Amino acid sequence: MKTRKFIANSAAHITLAVLSVIWVLPIIFAVLTSFRAESGSYKTYIIPKAFTFANYIGLFEGALNYGRWFSNTLTVAIFSCIVSTFLVLCVAYVMSRLRFKMRKPLLSVALVLGMFPGFMAMIAVYYILKGFGLLETGQFKLFALVLVYSGGAGLMFYVPKGFFDTIPKTLDEASYLDGATKWQTFTRVIMPLSKPIIVYVLITSFLAPWTDFILAKVILGQDRDYYTVAVGLWTMLEKEYLQYYYTRFFAGSVLISIPLATLFLLTQKFYAESVGGAVKG
Amino acid sequence: MNFKEVLGIGEAFRHGNLITRLSLLILGLGSLVHRQIGRFVLFFALELGYILYMLTVGITSVRNMITLGLVEQGEVFNEAKGIYEYSLGDNSMLFLLYGVITILITLSFICFMMGSVRCAYQAQVDSRAGKKLPGILQDVKSLFDYNIHKFLLTWPMLGLIIFTVTPLIFMVTIAFTNYDRNHQPPGQLFDWVGFANFSDILGLGGSSQLSNTFWPVLIWTLVWAFFATFSNYILGMLLAILINRKGTRLKGMWRFFFMLSIAMPAFITLLTMRTVFHNNGAFNILLRALNILGPLETISYFGDPLLSKITVIMVNIWIGVPFTLLITTGILKNIPEELYEAAEVDGANKFVTFFKITLPYMIFITTPYLITQFTGNINNFNVIFFLTNGEPLTLDYYIAGKTDLLITWLYKLTITNKDYNLGSVIGILSFVLMAVCSLLTYRFTGSYKDEEAFQK
């Protein structure tokens, strides 16, 4: 019995070790390549012959404008994060804790809207923005990105709504009995209880502009100075640039992944809970 | 639910007096009669604004939307300058867009008309009962109290109407036009064609290159969604079991290793994977170093349709399994231990307990998650776009490669090829696909039917 257990445990650990290697290797490969001193794209070996920081430094000089891309994305992310969080919390709170005539119909409409492929309407968005005159200059384009990201935020209410659903209704009733208005109940009773979900919404809406590619590409077009990091990194792997920027692409990716990964790891608890919680209900 | 009940206008019309009924045409009349001046001013301003809009722009744009423009942009020879000049033609695209916007404005105006009637009826009932009618100050205050949903929902809905609803309706109308790359405003006009695009793509009028693209792409989309969903699900669950089993040590470390890959932004991991599976990429080099491939041999992962599809699913496993690990870990701990003990007593081995206890339990709990994963995979743009971009390309298909999903085909049709009408049809068809899947989800989800379970 003891030997059987030993064999089972060893087998499990060996399998896990092999799988971990498979999962970690590509990341190590990316990190190694980001420090590779040899220029050019693909090599006949994996481990670089010499190491250098030049790829990281190179991101900030010459034709590449990584610092600029970073600050563009940061600006867009901060503004759209503030606006989206406000909008998402509004919808989630109303849909979860208030009962009114149009509630069910509105929930159905939200469901239907969510089923259309997101960027099907991108061309129309593009022309609406053009109609507003927001595609004239680069700064306006960034403003347009903030508008579009936060404009769609109203549909992202499911996870926070699930959270609000779990707060006992008696709290609201007690607050009304004490003479509070619904607004006061919302801001002074429910919001202080909802700090974790507010943090979750803040982080997820902050992350969205960093990882969105398609919309940013369509709106920003050829305006390289106003690219976001995602669009910029993607262009570095285009055929005409691949030879020059291959190693710098990895440097840029590693650089951006560190803060984003940290933020993501902060939200993963909620992520697991939201799915687990919603289905457990 | 009865439509009239939702709007509450039927009752107002049946029992309302003349003033109430007239409020439909003269907005705010009821409020004026009952001395609610603030409401009257708002309603009347809205009506004035709407009439002004319709007279100046609205009526023309509806007319233009019906014709979609008659005058094509032409070239006129300017003898004085000795050059060809462009004469200004109609822009079908803008005509359609303005038409859609006018219709939406009209619809919201109709809502205000009904609001006016309801308002008047409320005032009529309240004043007959001798209640004091609310003034504008109380109205504003009520927005922070019993009408708070109106205040809180206005802002998100404004954003959604401008950036989601209007564009969507516009794109849906385009599906019924011939707005393709041969009909590009402002140079050319496009026109209404009814269901012609739908029958072309579905191959109703005999098979064409379009329908020969659509059906295989649709089938691959479903096959992909099936394999992508279930491979991730089952492998992720096995991994979670492996990490959570009693004998395994360093659980946190193993979990961290797998977590690393999902912490990185998806487009970065996908672009990295594209370089890894390049002909001269890291994976082929690794195979050569291990002597599995000869020094000059290469495997072209995205060159062969079948191999390309398998590679995509494999990479998707690499990306998706940690997500399943994240989600299932918690649920696995909730499976009652007694079930396993009883099974062990009955002499069941590990495989039997997995298929008879773990899997049924997990599927029971996570069915909604599975279905959202499935619909998410149908629209999984990122994996295909960044990894293969549809390659390998084929001449049998219209602007699509063998690994293109409906959603990436839609992208190519609209962004690259400017066949907006075809893209719209694909969008509508994927919507139908999604709707069917989602309907199934909500039929079987407990959390939707009993969403107040925790509030009691």
Tens-digit pLDDT profile for residues B22-65: 888 888 888 888 888 888 888 889 999 999 999 988 888 888 88
Residue A101 has pLDDT above 90, yes or no: no
Residues 6+ apart with CB under 8 A from B392: B302, B303, B304, B305, B308, B401, B402, B403
Name the band, by pLDDT with cuts 50, 70 and 90, for residue A83: very high
A42, A91, A276 member nearest B330 (Cβ): A276
- What pLDDT, on a 0 to 100 scale, did the predictor assign at position A87? 92
Cis ω before A192 (30° cut-off from 0):
no
CA distance A230 to A21: 27
pLDDT of amino acid B133: 77
Angle ∠(B37,B39,B45) on CA atoms, nearest 5: 100
pLDDT of residue B218: 92
Q: What is the mean pLDDT of residues B248-267?
A: 83
How much is the pLDDT for B50?
Answer: 92
Residue carrying the six token digits 């009529």: B124
Cβ(B404)–Cβ(B248) below 8 Å: no
CATH 1.10.3720.10, chain B: domain bounds: 209-449
Please state, for a pLDDT cut of 90, what percent of chain A lies above it: 9
Neighbours of A210 (CB within 10 A): 20
Q: What number is the average pLDDT over the span B435-446?
A: 69
**Under an 8 A CB cutoff, do A115 and B435 touch?**
yes
pLDDT at A270: 66
- Residues 209-228 of chain A with CB under 8 A from chain B are 210-211, 213-214, 218
| pLDDT higher than 70, residue B5 | no
Single-letter amino acid, residue A91: V
Q: What is the Cα–Cα distance from B1 to A102, expressed in whole angstroms?
A: 11
- What 8-state DSSP symbol labels residue A118? G
Secondary-structure breakdown of chain B: helix, strand, coil percentages, each rounded to the nearest 5: 70, 5, 30
User: How far does the CA of residue A62 sit from the closest CA of chain B (Å)?
Assistant: 23
User: B140 — contact with chain A (CB < 8 Å)?
Assistant: no
d(CA A13, CA B305): 36
Neighbours of A200 (CB within 10 A): 22
Mean per-residue pLDDT for A197-224? 85
Q: Say what the pLDDT of residue A146 is.
A: 92
When mean pLDDT is compared across A109-118, A140-149, A164-173, B206-215, the lowest value belongs to A109-118
**Model pTM score:** 0.81
More confident residue, B256 or B52: B52
DSSP state of B391: P
Higher pLDDT, residue B368 or A277: B368
In B153-217, where do the E strands start and end? none
**Signed CA dihedral, B260, B264, B270, B274: sign only:** negative
* Percent of chain A topping pLDDT 70: 94
Contact present, B135 and B387 (Cβ < 8 Å): no
The confidence score (pLDDT) of residue A198 equals 87
Q: Which residue of A has its CA nearest to B6?
A: A101
Token pair, residue B417, equals: 């090829």
CB atoms within 10 A of CB B86: 11
User: What pLDDT was estimated at residue A269?
Assistant: 66
Task: Identify which of B393, B383, B219, B228 has the alpha carbon closest to the alpha carbon of residue B305.
Answer: B393
Q: Which residue of B has its CA nearest to A218?
A: B415
Q: What is the pLDDT of residue A156?
A: 84
> What is the average pLDDT value for chain A, to the nearest integer?
83
State the average pLDDT over residues B404-426: 87
Tell me the mean pLDDT in the region A189-212: 86
B453 pLDDT above the threshold of 50 = no
Residues 120-139 of A with CB under 8 A from B: 120-125, 127-128, 131
* A263 token code pair: 């933020």
Q: Residue B88 has what DSSP assignment?
A: P
Sort out which chain B residues have CB atoms less than 8 A from A153's CB and list them. Answer: 156, 159
CB-count exposure of residue B367 (10 Å: 0-12, 13-18, 19+): middle
What ipTM was predicted for this assembly? 0.82
A151 interaction partners in chain B (CB closer than 8 Å): 159-160, 162-164
Beta strands in B27-121 (DSSP E): 74-78, 83-87
**What is the pLDDT at residue A272?**
59
B6 token code pair:
């939702």
Average pLDDT of the segment spanning B213-238:
91
Res. B2 pLDDT band, cuts 50 70 90? very low
Nearest by CB to residue B454, choosing from A153, A166, A230, is A166
The pLDDT value given to residue B289 = 84
Segment A29-47 shows an average pLDDT of 81
pLDDT in tens, B101-124: 999 999 999 988 888 888 888 888
Right CATH for B209-449 from 3.40.30.10, 2.130.10.10, 2.60.40.10, 1.10.3720.10? 1.10.3720.10
What are the pLDDT digits (tens) for B72-94? Answer: 777 777 777 777 777 777 888 88
CB-count burial class (<10 Å; 0-12, 13-18, 19+) for A83? buried
Query: In this predicted structure, what is the pLDDT of residue B445?
Result: 57
H/E run at residue B141: helix B136-142
Measured distance CA(B214)–CA(B409) in Å, rounded: 9
CB within 8 Å: B247 and A264: no
Residue B313 pLDDT exceeds 90: yes
Query: Over the stretch A42-77, which tens digit does the pLDDT of each residue have?
Result: 877 778 888 888 888 888 877 778 888 999 999 999
Task: Compare CB distances from B159 to A94, A151, A168 and report the shortest one's residue.
Answer: A151
Cβ-defined contact of A87 to B168 (cutoff 8 Å): no
A69 and A229 Cβ atoms separated by less than 8 Å: yes
Max Cα distance, chain B (Å): 102
What chain A holds in terms of domains, given with CATH numbers, is 2-54 (no CATH), 66-236 (1.10.3720.10)
In the predicted model, is pLDDT for residue A277 greater than 50?
Answer: no
With bands split at pLDDT 50, 70 and 90, how would you rate the model's confidence at A271? low
Give the burial class of A147: count Cβ atoms within 10 A of its Cβ; 0-12 exposed, 13-18 middle, 19 or more buried: buried
The structure tokens 């003033």 sit at B19
**Closest approach of A12 to chain B, Cα-based (Å):** 7
Task: Tell me: pLDDT of B6 over 70.
Answer: no
Residue A273: what pLDDT?
Answer: 59
Q: What is the model's pLDDT at position A281?
A: 31
Candidates A224, A239, A227, A232; CA nearest to A255 is A232
pLDDT, tens only, B241-253: 888 877 778 888 8
Burial status of residue A130 (CB atoms within 10 A of its CB: 0-12, 13-18, 19 or more): middle
Q: Do B266 and A211 touch (CB under 8 A)?
A: yes
Residues 6+ apart with CB under 8 A from A228: A69, A72, A73, A76, A145, A209, A210, A212, A216, A220
Question: CA–CA separation, A37 vs B395, rounded Å?
Answer: 41
Distance (Å, rounded) from C-alpha B421 to C-alpha B177? 6
Contact B217, B409 (CB under 8 A): yes
- The rounded percent of chain B whose pLDDT value lies above 70 is 95
Q: Mean pLDDT score of chain B, rounded to an integer?
A: 82
More confident residue, B274 or B297: B274
| Most B-contacting residue of A3, A21, A23, A268 (CB-CB within 10 A), to test interface | A23
Beta pairing partners, B86 = B75
Residue B272 pLDDT exceeds 80: yes
Contact status, residue B284 vs residue B298, Cβ threshold 8 Å: yes
| Selection from A149, A173, A163, A131 nearest residue A230 by Cα | A149
Q: How far is it, in rounded angstroms, from Cα A41 to Cα A242?
A: 6
